[in-house]
Amino acid sequence: MTAPDPLSGFLDRLSAAGLHVEAQQAPGLAPARLVIVPAADWGRLGREAKVAAWRWAAGWGEDGDDTIGVNACFEKAGTYFVARTLVPRATPVLASHSAAYPGADRPERHIRDLLGVTFSDHPDPRRWTRHHAWQQGEYPLRRDFPAAGQPPAQTPADYQYNFLLAQGSGVYEIPVGPVHAGIIEPGHFRFQAVGETVLKLEERLAYTHKGIEKIAEGRDAEGLARLAGRVSGDSTVAHAWAACMAMEKAACVDVPPRALWLRALMCERERVANHVGDVGAILNDIAFAFGFHQFARLREEWQRVSHEAFGHRLMMDCIVPGGVATDLESRCMAPMLEQADALRQQIGKLMLIINDLPSVADRLRDTGVLSPEYASALGCLGYVGRASGMDFDVRRDAPYPPYDGLTVKVPLNHFGDVNARVRIRIEEISASFDLIRALLAEPPGGPIRADWKEASAGSEGLGLVEGWRGEILSCVRFGAGGKIARFFPRDPSWTTWPAIELLIHGNIVPDFPVCNKSVNGSYSGQDL
């Protein structure tokens, strides 16, 4: 028996409520459907979607000749739709979705900063992405703004950003960053605390804005794939796959089965490498050096095999439009299987030691609790969401080849603390080992790349891939001559960075590093 389509029922509900929406065919956006919404009904759409339990997944804008298009992607039970509206370029004003969806706060501020769209009832007027790098009235994602910008001799300091303050006797402030002692990217964290207890934390990110969306314009498909692989270097495979998937849908290019098989194999190897490294880093943040060094060693050995098999430790630039850049030699398959089995055993032995240490349990359990209610409100994804009861994985719930022919195990936890996020990671590593074994058991033959066909002007595509942090969304539109007119990549970090501000409440200041690492949002992925 076929399950009912949640979108059809939702569209009927909107029509009954007096909203004049129109569903249109947009094959390149599949599995999502396109829903055109009048600007006057944009705010009501968000409220109705919230009541109907749709997840707000992403928001982005696009400059036109006389209008600016604003898009929002929603998901429910693996069904997606992209809502789209137009506002006049001269007076771009639109209602906000942030009242219904707190996770829409920063994406809408990003659209406002880069395209000049005013969200009339948005609760936060402060700049997010701009950091005074552009003058008032200058919007870098508008077509008439040069990619190189018009930088002043020295960008003014961002001293006017008004952090929200906690008031009361004994409350003091701790500023951390944006420059850190380690090699991580810049991010500022402003704590309000009493004693060692954190009352409030506010983040300030986007210090290294790369202009990804702007410098994508005018690139060919090959150039965009390379750029996408650098949105967040630790997710180079997943971001490149999502971007290529979007371009391939727009250009109607069928990717060979062997190329899809290789993409999945690389993506699972990327997932394992990052989870293994992060578990070690979490142990390092609680001063358990033995665990840190052991997991770092395992990650290094894993990445060396990736380098031998695919020519790059991170497998960067291995995914290209139409397929993959390099095949996997048969001699590499048996060592990959052996390494996965050996790594599973070694992690199992290490976890027996770690789980038996009261000092580890004391630092990880009941630390940094993200409640299911908060996780749902922010739309948290990946291991952060699954540790707080959010049961969603694109590979299983909106499957794409080759995952549509595989069994994907998705671990779930409801405690929402650092320990739960570590447990989810360990279980995801094990699930990836199972997928790698299944993939290597039946490798398809044939070519590894299809001939590229130039996409027609105006064609668009949507890519949805389960990266190691969670759902990655890429939207691509082509212009004349097969060149990119618009590229928007949404990293899962957009949803998980705000979670840190919530889960740190009531914790002590020294627990912030381990709380932060257990989430491990990408500075680069959030700062396009």
CATH 1.10.645.10, domain 212-318+331-443+451-526, yes or no: yes
Please write the tens of the pLDDT for every residue from 369-408. Answer: 999 999 999 999 999 999 999 999 999 999 999 999 999 9
**Residue 194 DSSP class:** E
pLDDT (0 to 100) of residue 213: 96
Please write the tens of the pLDDT for every residue from 449-474. Answer: 999 999 999 999 999 999 999 999 99
pLDDT (0 to 100) of residue 272: 98
Q: Is the pLDDT of residue 154 over 80?
A: no
Separation in Å, CA 112 to CA 60, 115, 131, 141, 266: 10, 6, 13, 10, 36
Which residue is listed with tokens 């050995």?
301
Burial 341-356 (b: 16+ CB within 10 A, else e): eebeebbeebeeebee
Q: What percent of the chain has pLDDT over 90?
A: 86
| Contact present, 467 and 492 (Cβ < 8 Å) | yes
Burial 216-250 (b: 16+ CB within 10 A, else e): bbeebbeebbbbbbebbebbbbbbbbbbbbbbbbb
Where in the chain do CATH 1.10.645.10 domains reside? 212-318+331-443+451-526
| Contact present, 207 and 131 (Cβ < 8 Å) | yes
Q: Which two tokens stand for residue 408?
A: 């994907």
Calculate Rg over the CA atoms of the chain.
Answer: 23
Please write the tens of the pLDDT for every residue from 83-123. Answer: 999 999 999 999 999 999 999 999 999 999 999 999 999 99
Those residues with Cβ within 8 angstroms of residue 241's Cβ, 6 or more apart along the chain or in another chain: 263, 267, 319, 463, 465
Which H or E run includes 321?
none
Separation in Å, CA 463 to CA 29, 471, 476: 8, 10, 8
pLDDT (0 to 100) of residue 133: 77
Please write the tens of the pLDDT for every residue from 343-353. Answer: 999 999 999 99
Alpha-carbon distance of 248 to 103, in angstroms, equals 29
Q: Is 326 exposed, middle or buried (0-12, 13-18, 19+ CB in 10 A)?
A: middle
Positive or negative torsion for Cα 110, 116, 119, 122: positive
Q: Residue 425 phi/psi, 5° resolution?
A: -60, -45
Alpha-carbon distance of 91 to 73, in angstroms, equals 24
Phi-psi region of 7 (alpha: psi -120 to 50; beta: other; left: phi over 0): alpha
Q: pLDDT category, 223, cuts 50, 70, 90?
A: very high
pLDDT (0 to 100) of residue 496: 95
Where in the chain do CATH 3.30.460.80 domains reside? 6-119
Those residues with Cβ within 8 angstroms of residue 414's Cβ, 6 or more apart along the chain or in another chain: 372, 388, 389, 420
pLDDT (0 to 100) of residue 156: 75
Strands 79-88 and 33-36: parallel
Q: Is the pLDDT of residue 181 over 80?
A: no
Q: Which CATH number fits domain 6-119: 3.40.30.10, 3.30.230.10, 3.30.460.80, 3.10.580.10?
A: 3.30.460.80
Q: pLDDT category, 3, cuts 50, 70, 90?
A: low
Q: Is the pTM of this model over 0.85?
A: yes
Alpha-carbon distance of 88 to 95, in angstroms, equals 14
Positive or negative torsion for Cα 300, 304, 309, 315: positive
Please write the tens of the pLDDT for every residue from 247-277. Answer: 999 999 999 999 999 999 999 999 999 999 9
Residue 448: count other Cβ atoms within 10 Å of its Cβ: 21
| Contact present, 82 and 72 (Cβ < 8 Å) | yes
Q: Which long-range contacts (CB under 8 A, 24 or more apart) does 420-424 make?
A: 420/387, 420/388, 421/383, 421/384, 421/387, 421/518, 421/519, 422/279, 422/282, 422/364, 422/518, 423/387, 424/383, 424/386, 424/387
Collapsing DSSP to helix, strand or coil, 149 comes out as coil
